[in-house]
Amino acid sequence: MTTKTRPATPSDAPAMCAILNEIIAIGGTTAYEDPFNPDGMIANYVTAPLLIACTVAELDGAVCGFQAIWRPDPSFPGAATMPPDWAAIASFVKVGMTGHGIGKSLFSATLAAARTAKVKAIDATIRADNASGLRFYGGMGFVEYAVIRDVPLKDGQLVDRIRKRFDLT
Ligand SMILES: CC(C)(COP(=O)(O)OP(=O)(O)OC[C@H]1O[C@@H](n2cnc3c(N)ncnc32)[C@H](O)[C@@H]1OP(=O)(O)O)[C@@H](O)C(=O)NCCC(=O)NCCS
């Protein structure tokens, strides 16, 4: 599967929403619980104030995944403990297209952007019940460095967050 990556633009927002909303609807991986609309996707991802890079992957001209890194956002769980030269990451690949290297190709583009922005470390804060997300970031070279205990979901269920870091040298 040969995918191409490029910076996201506002016109990608509907396709990005479709990818993320399907993942949200299935549940159990992303920390998001409410669906995104294109305006929210643009505000939080494509042109977010603290954004360093938002990259989409395309296969045959169709967006099949996206990944973003941001400077620490104070509203993000645990961001208060993140130095300002760190970045936070989120990654999403279309349901049914995972396991074919799309996430890895996105991370290659993200890493290049992080180096250009002189980011010292990238933080992935992942639901403890997201086994595939934990393994993906582990495969990319992230190592666990902290746990945030008992973060409540909307229904009151408490789920730990595992924090992994990727140090840039
Ligand atoms: C996590 C996610 C982005 C990974 O994307 P992907 O395209 O499936 O990942 P890739 O195919 O590029 O895999 C890259 C590496 O991670 C490993 N990996 C990925 N998913 C894995 C899994 N479920 N189990 C074991 N290894 C896995 C692969 O083996 C691969 O390593 P390799 O190149 O040495 O073989 C994707 O599964 C996804 O969108 N999940 C739902 C949302 C989510 O959990 N996001 C993360 C939290 S923000």
Digit-coded pLDDT (tens) for 3-43 = 999 999 999 999 999 999 999 999 989 999 999 999 999 99
Residue 7 to residue 66: CA distance in whole angstroms: 9
Identify the three-state secondary structure at position 6: strand
For residue 141, how far is its CA from the centre of ligand 1 (angstroms)? 12
pTM: 0.94
Task: Please give the span between the terminal C-alpha atoms of the chain, in angstroms, as a whole number.
Answer: 30
Q: Which two tokens stand for residue 167?
A: 């140090």
What is the Cα Rg of the chain in Å?
15
Q: Which CATH topology does 4-167 take?
A: Aminopeptidase (3.40.630)
- Test site for ligand 1: of 21, 136, 140, 163, most ligand atoms within 8 A of the Cβ: 136
Query: Is-contact 76 125, C-beta < 8 A?
Result: yes
Q: How far is the CA of 81 from the centre of ligand 1 (A)?
A: 26
Residue closest via CA to ligand 1's atom 18 equals 136
Which residue stretches of the chain are H helix?
A: 13-26, 38-41, 102-116, 131-139
* pLDDT single digits (tens) 48-103: 999 999 999 999 999 999 999 999 988 776 777 789 999 999 999 999 999 999 99
